[in-house]
Structure 1
């Protein structure tokens, strides 16, 4: 990479992690090649897929010899796979691309442009996204938009530490991150089963985030996606969430931040109860007591967890019914 070119048009590293994405990986990679921004390096890590994902990637790489491909013989987990790519990355900015998502052609150019205009400690630029199904059909928008394609609600920017404790408001695959910040943080935490909440907590305490009000990414929602696994009894996501909540607790400095964390912990207590992870219910409850006295509903859940009631099946049936109800009234689609 030419240092001169990097000053004019900073290089961007796209790290694509793939696991059993043979139906989508070529589209994801092609969306990187089709960017209207000139200085992009593409690093692909296949995490020991059992389908033909690796074969599809190798075929694509023959047409695009600049692509760097890591083929893991065993599944090392999402976070470690990303860190493998990060170790090779040379760009000023980094995009973490799942092999079933799609970048719109102006995604990188628009985000780099905003990054280069920003002053101050900004580490992340994120944007709006459209959700698509397995067939590529648009189903919803992350932030509902008006007739001009602009978000109808105010999206947090700047110091968002308290905001990331309060709610899930960032669509993870829309993020462009500074590589030096990722390296400073040691990449993703490989002891965890997912990356975003932990990265938000650790980075937003130190750096600012900027929102770019455009739909620049197509996020694919599939029935077996990571987000749906949190409803399963055997999921490891909640134990990772407990670890991240303790990290957040150590980083809180104001009453409002502690209250925001308490709200998130109460949510995790309910999720742990509904997935019958009763030991985690107790552990989340212990953390909550360090912050505030639990309210009546939380106390009731903490007490009920001692009886280890078989509630997961009923919970999942409720979620299925609720998804069906919501699908009849979808969010505003992109005009």
Structure 2
């Protein structure tokens, strides 16, 4: 296998040391990202790490993404490229790449995101030092806009660049039920764990929440306190889609919540999941998916009483009120440039 980074070092022991470093497979999925895909791929090639496999899947793009990837592959023939004639969905596209991957560790890279040069080296080194059942190493991230300007950090940092609060690490199952505290593109995952879980669930519209629920019940996560990824926020991002009427993300979330319910073992875990379900009830209501809000309500009642506010939202859901446009205006007015994740309290 030939590394896409083409690393070379004149030190006498370097060839041997490089050979014993674990291979890392980067699986990049692209759909209509012609403006960013070459930068994302170049960030993999520019990694300060010797053993990197790059697999790219264009998922039926209708713009010039595939042509730009082909041009990139001509310059870097070690890259493996799959061109899907139609969009098979993010999860199936990733699983196509996973079936070809050979690395001990895997990174799921969206075509509009960027790996900073030390990303793979720092995470792979930490993985090799960990003892115990660790499946994921994740890090902090910088959010950037269409032009690459930084708008926020996922975790707010102090003057030394460290997270201002303790980020969950180790057994994080309850934490992933409580909130979306991990910035998804910062994860490096063990390939054998992904294979054990059967890859991403192809029946769902997104991957992260489901993967967290299934893997964190069995394995630990480690946080590396550095900004190692640039996550691009675009107007058509998944975060924006979840508030739109008719989106499939919320129905997938209900499926994952039932998976989580089946995996809860303690009252604290059920309580954490109940809080998350209340959030989804509000999101479904504002997206005018009223029947889905009521289905979330049925799950909630199996764990906890809804409470006054949630009961009100569930009651209003039966009237199918046109609330979506008003809610989107509110979000536009409520300035979003702040850390993406804020803990309920400092710990």
Question: TM-score surpassing 0.5?
Answer: yes
Give 1 or 2: higher helix fraction.
Answer: 1
Kept after mapping to 1: 8 A contact 2:123/2:188: yes
Q: Structure 1: where are the runs of 5+ without partners? A: none
- CA distance in 2 between counterparts of 1:182 and 1:16 reads 16
SS of the counterpart of 1:291?
Answer: coil
Number of the residue aligned with 2:188? 176
Number of the residue aligned with 2:46? 34
Q: In the TM superposition, what is the alpha-carbon distance from 1:331 to its structure 2 partner? A: 5.0
Bigger shift: residues 6-15 or 30-39: 6-15
Superposed CA offset, 1:38-78 (max 9, x none): 00000000000000000000000001000000000010000
Bigger shift: residues 82-91 or 292-301: 292-301
Question: TM-score, normalised to structure 1's length?
Answer: 0.96
Number of the residue aligned with 1:127? 139
- CA distance in 1 between counterparts of 2:321 and 2:17 reads 62
Superposed CA offset, 1:105-160 (max 9, x none): 00000000000000000000000000100001111111011111111111000000
Number of the residue aligned with 1:74? 86
Q: In the TM superposition, what is the alpha-carbon distance from 1:7 to its structure 2 partner? A: 6.9
Does residue 44 (structure 1) correspond to residue 87 (structure 2)? The answer is no
Number of the residue aligned with 1:140? 152
Does residue 304 (structure 1) correspond to residue 319 (structure 2)? The answer is no
- CA distance in 1 between counterparts of 2:222 and 2:199 reads 20
Runs of 4+ residues deviating >4 angstroms: 4-7
Q: Structure 2 matches for 1:168-207, cutoff 5 A?
A: 168-207=180-219
Number of the residue aligned with 1:249? 261
Q: Structure 2 matches for 1:278-317, cutoff 5 A?
A: 278-317=290-329
Q: In the TM superposition, what is the alpha-carbon distance from 1:227 to its structure 2 partner? A: 1.3
Q: Structure 2 matches for 1:314-329, cutoff 5 A?
A: 314-323=326-335, 326-327=336-337
- CA distance in 2 between counterparts of 1:20 and 1:289 reads 41
Q: In the TM superposition, what is the alpha-carbon distance from 1:11 to its structure 2 partner? A: 0.2
- CA distance in 2 between counterparts of 1:176 and 1:62 reads 27
- CA distance in 2 between counterparts of 1:152 and 1:96 reads 27
Does residue 262 (structure 1) correspond to residue 274 (structure 2)? The answer is yes
Q: Matched residue pairs, number?
A: 327
- CA distance in 2 between counterparts of 1:18 and 1:73 reads 13
Superposed CA offset, 1:222-270 (max 9, x none): 0111111001001110000000000000000000000000000000001
- CA distance in 2 between counterparts of 1:22 and 1:101 reads 12
Superposed CA offset, 1:277-333 (max 9, x none): 01101100000011011101111111111111111111111111113xx44xx559x
SS of the counterpart of 2:242?
Answer: helix
SS of the counterpart of 1:307?
Answer: coil
Number of the residue aligned with 1:25? 37
For residue 165 of structure 2, the aligned residue among 150, 153, 158 is: 153
Kept after mapping to 1: 8 A contact 2:18/2:50: no
Does residue 166 (structure 1) correspond to residue 166 (structure 2)? The answer is no
Q: In the TM superposition, what is the alpha-carbon distance from 1:6 to its structure 2 partner? A: 8.3
- CA distance in 2 between counterparts of 1:153 and 1:56 reads 41
Does residue 88 (structure 1) correspond to residue 100 (structure 2)? The answer is yes
Q: In the TM superposition, what is the alpha-carbon distance from 1:182 to its structure 2 partner? A: 0.2
For residue 229 of structure 1, the aligned residue among 241, 246, 253 is: 241
Number of the residue aligned with 2:231? 219
Q: Structure 2: where are the runs of 5+ without partners? A: 3-15, 341-347
- CA distance in 2 between counterparts of 1:150 and 1:124 reads 20
SS of the counterpart of 1:139?
Answer: strand
- CA distance in 2 between counterparts of 1:79 and 1:85 reads 10
